[in-house]
Amino acid sequence: MLKDRNSSAIVAVSDLDRARRFYSDTLGLELTAEPQDDMPVLAYRTGDTGLTVYQSEFAGTNKANAVTWDMQGDLVESVQALKAKGVTFERYDLPGMNWRDGWHEAGAVKLAWFKDPDGNILHLIEGM
């Protein structure tokens, strides 16, 4: 049933215009659908999947990862590029992981977390 279907992420935000600036301009995602009167959402293409951003009074209440991107050997470069655009990366004290100027490293695995303007946790991972 679902095992053969694609899945995508959906993120609640409080302000669609602010979210558009962040997801389009800062993250550089490709906007594929604008909000309509009957459907106030932004749709983005990310690789072979999609990300839906919608307005909600519950924006930012999730305290876990909201979106994860599987990086293809460019996590460090992506972190540096996002930092140059003003993105702040989260530093967590996790067993077996070392902090490396914006990302965490555990052997061959690299991980980075940052938040969107509503506090949704976004995650980059490489090497899993």
Q: Which residue ranges make up each domain of the chain?
A: 2-126
Strands 98-99, 41-46: parallel, antiparallel or unpaired by DSSP? Answer: unpaired
pLDDT-wise least confident of 10-19, 31-40, 71-80, 118-127: 31-40
For residue 9 the two structure tokens come to 């992420």
Cβ-in-10-Å burial (0-12, 13-18, 19+) of 14 comes to: middle
Amino acid residing at 62: N
H or E element that contains 99: strand 98-99
Query: For the domain 2-126, what is the CATH code?
Result: 3.10.180.10
The mean pLDDT of 33-58, rounded to a whole number, is 91
H or E element that contains 80: helix 75-84
CA nearest 125: which of 62, 79, 61? 79
Model pTM above 0.85: yes
The mean pLDDT of 33-45, rounded to a whole number, is 89
R_g (Cα) of the chain, nearest Å = 15
